[in-house]
Amino acid sequence: MRCFWDAAAALDPAGARGKDEALRFALCRPEPLRALFEGTGLRNVAVDAIAVPTVFRDFDDYWSPFLAGGAPAPAYCMSLDAARRAVLRERLRATLPVAPDGRIPLSARTGMVRGAA
């Protein structure tokens, strides 16, 4: 998602930034997540990142979910007219890491929290 929102914000700073989940949801960051769990009374709260390799077969494999609407990134993508969507698509194509065989290796990240009552 980071690649998508960075490309969208570069082309449409006012429109895209307000939809970027990492900016909209403070709990996407470790310290606010830690504070939330400590606020419930848990002790020894630890927040760790989990990275999951996410490899796309090719650019079409990466791009096609953005054409489905629904979640914030696809909904934003589909709200663009065809010309602006094409510019976003080409910006992404130019900035994504592409392996020699055409695969696009990325990592999906999430947070894990543990603590003691």
pLDDT of residue 90: 97
- Global pTM reads 0.79
User: Tokens 């390799």 — which residue?
Assistant: 53
DSSP class of residue 40 equals T
Q: Give me the amino acid identity at 11.
A: L
Tokens of 46: 């630890």
Where exactly are the structural domains of the chain? 2-28+54-110
Task: Let me know: does 11 contact 88? Beta carbons within 8 Å.
Answer: yes
Task: Let me know: does 4 contact 95? Beta carbons within 8 Å.
Answer: no
Q: Each residue's pLDDT tens digit in the chain (117 positions)?
A: 889 999 999 999 988 988 888 778 877 788 999 999 999 999 999 999 999 999 999 999 999 999 997 899 999 999 999 999 999 999 999 999 999 999 999 999 888 999 998
